[in-house]
Amino acid sequence: MSVALRLALLLVVLGCVYLFLAHPYWFPAGASSLSGLIDHQFRIALWVFGALFVVGHLILVWALSKKPHAGGMASQGSWQLEVTWTVAVTIIFFWFNISGDHLWSSMMPPAKHGTEIDVEVTGAQFQWYFRYPGADGAFGKTDAQKFARPDEGNPLGIDPSDPAGRDDIVSTAMIVPVGHAVQLHLRAQDVVHSLFIPAMRFKQDTVPGMEIISHFTPTKIGAYEIACAELCGLGHYRMRAVVRVVSEAEFAAWLKQHGSF
C-alpha cells in the first residue's frame, strides 16, 4: 500500500505538471500597457509555486518511503527545523508579496485629468452601456429612475434638460483609440456587475450607488471580448460586450459620426 500511495502521489504530480506545460487553455494575448508586467508576475508565480508544489510532494513521498527508526523514541520536534522552515517560507512568500505590491501600485495610478479618454461604463441586467462625454468633455447628469427609456435611445436616463448631456454618446460597444490611457467611470443601474476584459487583464466591479474610477491603456488594435464577472442574475452568462481598439483617426471619425445626433 505504501508503494501504491507513493506512486499515486507521483502520478498526480506528473499529471498536474503535464497539464500546465501542455496548457490547452491559457491567457489570451495581452493587449494593454500593463499586460506584459502582469503576465510576467504570473509566470514568476507559476514557476515559484509550481516548484513548491513539486518539491512539497516529493518530500511527502520521501517521508512516506523512509524506513522506520531502528529503536528509541522518535523525534518529538526540533525548534531548529521549525525556525528554519518558518524563515524560509516567510522569505519566499513575502518576497513574492512585495513584488506584487509594486505592480498593484502601477495598476492604480492617481487620477490625472485631461489627458485620458473618459468613458463611463454602466452595467445593467444584462447589458453594458458605454458613454462618451462628447465635444464639451462633460457627462450630462443622469437619473435612471426618471428618464431611462431603453427603447427610446436613452437607457441611462440622461437628463434632457442638462445641456452637458446633449452631445453625450451612448454605445453598446466600447471604442477606444490605441495607445491612449482610458479612464473608466464605472457604475451600475441595478445590481453589482463586474467589467472583465481578459485581454486587457482588467477587471473591476460596478456597484450601484458608487462611481469607481479605473484605468487601462490599450496597446494593440483589435476587438476584445468583455464578460461579466459578478453574478448578476439569469442573464449573467450572456452579459457580453466588445472593446474595439482602433487607430486614433478612426476613433476621431467614430466620435464625429456619432456625436452629431
Partner 1 sequence: MPMLNQTPDPKAIRNDSDPSLRSGFQKARNLFSTDHKIIGRQYFFLSLAAVLVGAWLSLLMRIHLVWPKAIILFLGEIKPENYLAQLTMHGTLMVFFVLSTVPQAGFGTFFLPLQLGARNMAFPRLAAVGFWTALTSFLVLMAAFFVPGGAPGAGWTQYPPLSALASAGPGQGLGTDLWLVSIGLFCLSSLMSAAGFVATTVSHRAPGMTWMRMPLTCWSWFVTSILILLAFGILLAAVVLLMLDRHAGTSFFLPGGLLISGRAIAHSGGSPLLWQHLFWFFGHPEVYIAVLPAMGVTSHLLSVFARKPVFGYKAMVGATLAIGALGFMVWGHHMFVSGMNPYAGFAFSTLTTAIAVPSAIKTFNWVATLYGGRIRYATPLLFSAGFVSLFITGGLTGPILAQPALDTYLHDTYFVVAHFHLIMAMAGLFAIFSATHFWFPRMFGRMMNERLGRLHFWITLFGAYAIFVPMHLLGIAGHPRRYSDLSGVQYVAAMAPLQKFITLAAIVTIAGQLIFLANLFWSMRRGPAAETNPWECGTLEWTPASYATKEGPGEWRPQVNHGPYEYNVPGAENDFIMQDAPAS
Does 80 contact partner 1 by CB under 8 A?
A: no
Beta carbon nearer to partner 1, 33 or 258: 33
Is 252 near partner 1 (CB under 8 A)? no
76 binds partner 1 (CB under 8 A): yes
At closest approach, how far in Å is the CB of 16 from partner 1?
5
Region 117-146 residues binding partner 1, contact defined as CB under 8 A: 124-125, 143-145
Question: 231: which residues sit within 8 A by CB, 6+ positions away?
Answer: none
Would you say 28 or 179 has its CB closer to partner 1?
28
Least distance in angstroms from the C-beta of 240 to partner 1: 5
E-only strand ranges, the chain? 117-124, 127-132, 169-171, 174-177, 182-188, 193-197, 202-206, 212-216, 222-228, 241-246
Answer yes or no whether residue 89 interacts with partner 1 by CB under 8 A.
Answer: yes
Distance CA 226, CA 128 (A): 9
DSSP state of 153: T
Residue 236, Ramachandran bin (φ over 0: left; ψ between -120 and 50: alpha; else beta): alpha
The footprint of partner 1 on residues 1-60 (CB under 8 A) is 1-2, 5, 8-9, 12, 15-16, 19-20, 23-28, 38, 41-42, 45, 49, 52-53, 56-57, 59-60
Question: Between 49 and 258, whose beta carbon lies closer to partner 1?
Answer: 49
* End-to-end CA separation in angstroms for the chain: 77
Does residue number 85 form part of the binding site for partner 1 (CB under 8 A)?
yes
C-alpha cell of 124?
445593467
Distance CA 195, CA 235 (A): 15
Total residues at the site for partner 1 (CB under 8 A)?
Answer: 98
Interface residue with partner 1 among 123, 134, 157, 177 (CB under 8 A) is 157
186/245 with CB nearer partner 1: 186
Q: How far apart are CA 202 and CA 218, in angstroms?
A: 11
Tell me how far, at minimum, the Cβ of 102 lies from partner 1, in Å.
9
Near partner 1 by CB under 8 A, which window of 112-120, 167-175, 184-192, 249-257? 184-192
**Which residues, 209 to 248, sit near partner 1 by CB under 8 A?**
209-210, 212, 225, 227-240
Q: Which residue has the cell 453589482?
A: 192
Query: How far does Cα 166 stand from its chain's mean position?
Result: 33
